[in-house]
Amino acid sequence: MRLDKVPETAVSATLSPDQGLSPGKSGRLIITATTSDAKHLVTAGAGHGNVLIDSFAFTATTVAVSKKGPKRNRI
First to last CA, the chain: 28
pTM of the model: 0.70
- Cα 21 to the chain's mean position, in Å? 14
What are the DSSP E strand ranges found in the chain? 8-16, 28-35, 40-42, 61-66, 69-74
Q: Who has greater pLDDT, 28 or 19?
A: 28
Residue 13 lies in a domain: yes
Confidence (pLDDT) at 17: 73
Please state, rounded to an integer, the average pLDDT across all residues of the chain: 84
- Is 12 a domain residue? yes
Residue 59 lies in a domain: yes
Q: Kind of pairing, strands 40-42 and 61-66?
A: unpaired
Q: What is the pLDDT of residue 19?
A: 66
Give domain status of residue 3, yes or no. Answer: no
Question: What residues form DSSP beta bridges with 74?
Answer: 61
CA 63 to chain centre: 18
Residue 2 lies in a domain: no
Confidence of residue 74 (pLDDT cuts 50, 70, 90): low
Domain hosting residue 56, numbered range: 8-74
